[in-house]
Structure 1
Amino acid sequence: MTTRPTSAYAPDLSVRSMTVDDCEAVATVRVRGWQAAYAGLVPQAYLDAMDIAEDAQRRRGFFAERNTVVNVVAERPGRGVIGWACYGPYRADGRRLARAELYAIYVLPEHLGTGVGRSLITEILARSTADGFPDLTLWVLKENAPARRFYERAGFAPDGVEEPFRVGGVLVPEVRYVRPLSPSAAG
């Protein structure tokens, strides 16, 4: 299990591979992250209905599948897991392609702006580069300006592709962002 201090952004933070024992903490990060990040962007009833215990059970199921998804967590001494991110092969029309996709990155709301997100994205970029992917893609809600600024500061740019995402019975537009992972991929 890799544990790496991330002193460039947050000296007291470590980022490591997720274990099955982290599922409850990751579910808390994900649910609280969704509720904070998407308030006003997706139906509030959907956010209110999110359940940490159910999400933790899903995480355990995903974790047991032995798939190609890479999960990492960020933790602080005495506070435990406060952030989570995961990536794997890009998903398109039910197929997995050779490029990588950032599936999720969430931080507990009270830790936003403290370097946790930057530390997680730095680790994801390092790992996906080491895995040999040419680029890393992600989907972000079109109206989620703070998230879009975060990704742009991390070197991602929209590539012009937009698709609707159905959440709580409502279609919400998403924008695809891409970041090359190697000099040859950028050129």
Structure 2
Amino acid sequence: MTVSYGAGMLTVRAMTEADVPAVSAVRVTGWKAAYAGIVPQAFLDGMTVEADAQQRRHHFTRSKEGTTNLVAVDAHGRVVGWACLGPVRDTGTSTTTGELYALYVQPSLIGSGIGRTLLEAVHARAHAHGFGLLLLWVLTDNMTARRFYERAGYVADGAVQADNYDGVSVSEVRYRRRTL
């Protein structure tokens, strides 16, 4: 899928193993920008593109059935965004429910339409995989992401959980949206 966005043309395509270093760069810079002041700074400072690429390569080559990784690539061939979706991780949930595991855009390009374009591609893939409902988790204090998903039709459903980062509990809220 190729569309125009604020800075030119954008192609959304399936991620390849060759994209792993660029995806890791987007993910790590995305974490450091989005989660500053939410996740302990020591945890963010300890993140490296190299370590993330090693972990991402492991996940990519061993992805479970139905997992889809998409990248947004600009007109110069640079990966500027990444999204990953698949079956919901909560095994007690219907097989027609999917989960958006991750969506990151190069921080300097946030607001240019890349995230919205990636999310539209995620919705199309989720629908094609038979997921009538898509869930996602957002850090409770990440108001920018929460507003982004709410504008895209997601609604917080009341479920909460917490993750531990360097001994600090950080809460997340779950959102849901029909893919049809």
Do these two structures clear the TM 0.5 threshold for a shared fold by scoring above it?
A: yes
Residue 152 (structure 1) aligned to one of 147, 150, 153: 150
CA distance in 1, matches of 2:5, 2:72: 14
Deviations 1:4-36 (A, max 9, x none): 112377751110000000000000000000000
For this pair of structures, how many residues does the alignment match? 178
Residue 70 (structure 2) aligned to one of 62, 72, 75: 72
Q: Which amino acid aligns with 1:48?
A: D
Deviations 1:96-152 (A, max 9, x none): 751100000001111110011001100000000111112000000111111000000
Is the 8 Å Cα contact of residues 5 and 114 (structure 2) preserved in structure 1? Answer: no
CA distance in 2, matches of 1:11, 1:126: 22
Residue 17 (structure 1) aligned to one of 14, 19, 27: 14
* Alpha carbons of structure 1 residues 165 and 21: separation in structure 2 relative to 1, 3 Å: same
Residue 55 (structure 1) aligned to one of 43, 52, 56: 52
* Alpha carbons of structure 1 residues 114 and 163: separation in structure 2 relative to 1, 3 Å: same
Is the 8 Å Cα contact of residues 5 and 112 (structure 2) preserved in structure 1? Answer: no
SS in 2 for 1:114: coil
CA distance in 2, matches of 1:63, 1:172: 26
Identity %, equivalent residues: 48
1:168 corresponds to which residue?
Answer: 166
* TM-score between both structures, scaled by the size of structure 1: 0.90
CA distance in 2, matches of 1:43, 1:6: 37
Q: Which amino acid aligns with 1:36?
A: A
CA distance in 1, matches of 2:165, 2:3: 34
SS in 1 for 2:88: strand
Unaligned runs of 5+ in 2: none
Q: Which amino acid aligns with 2:48?
A: D
CA distance in 1, matches of 2:157, 2:125: 22
1:118 corresponds to which residue?
Answer: 116
Deviations 1:35-66 (A, max 9, x none): 00000001000000001111111111111114
Q: Which amino acid aligns with 1:45?
A: A
SS in 1 for 2:20: helix
SS in 1 for 2:64: coil
CA distance in 2, matches of 1:10, 1:124: 21
2:36 corresponds to which residue?
Answer: 39
Q: Which amino acid aligns with 1:166?
A: N
